[in-house]
Amino acid sequence: MARPTQTGFSSPATHYNEPRIDLNEALVSNSSATFFVRVVDDAFSQNGILKNDVLIIDKSLTPKKEQLVLFNEDGSFLIKKIEKPLDSPVEVWGVITYIIKSVI
């Protein structure tokens, strides 16, 4: 019985195996209160959020100054930067914790 022979060069990456990054493990601290939302247009470009970006939103966090939040106004979701403590009754849906940018 003939032994198999190798031809050509072996891949330099044959013995190198990088573990995959799990975005839930790396970016989510409270999975039961965290949602991923894809942006459908460029309406929030003033906040650096563009079409096809993915927002990671945590509903369990209390909004603080300078954070971006997703809130509901008259049945529509909007994004707003908290400039000062919320004094008016705004229905904050959650705090945006990460923005995953689309490059395509």
20 domain-assigned: no
What tens digit of pLDDT does each residue of 47-86 get? Answer: 999 999 999 999 999 999 899 999 988 888 889 898 876 6
**What is the distance between the alpha carbons of residues 99 and 39, in angstroms, rounded to a whole number?**
10
Whichever domain contains 45, its CATH number is 2.10.109.10
Total domains in the chain come to 1
Whole-angstrom distance, CA of residue 9 vs CA of residue 75: 61
Residue type at 103? Answer: V
Q: What value, to the nearest 5°, has the Cα angle with vertex 42 and ends 92 and 32?
A: 35
Task: Choose among 38, 36, 44: nearest CA to 97.
Answer: 36
Provide the domain limits for residue 47: 25-100
Residue 37 covered by a domain: yes
**pTM of the shown model:** 0.76
| Element holding 23 (H helix, E strand) | helix 23-27
Domain membership of residue 8 (yes or no) is no
* 52 is a domain residue: yes
Residue 11 included in any domain: no
Question: Which of the four pLDDT bands, split at 50, 70 and 90, describes residue 2?
Answer: low
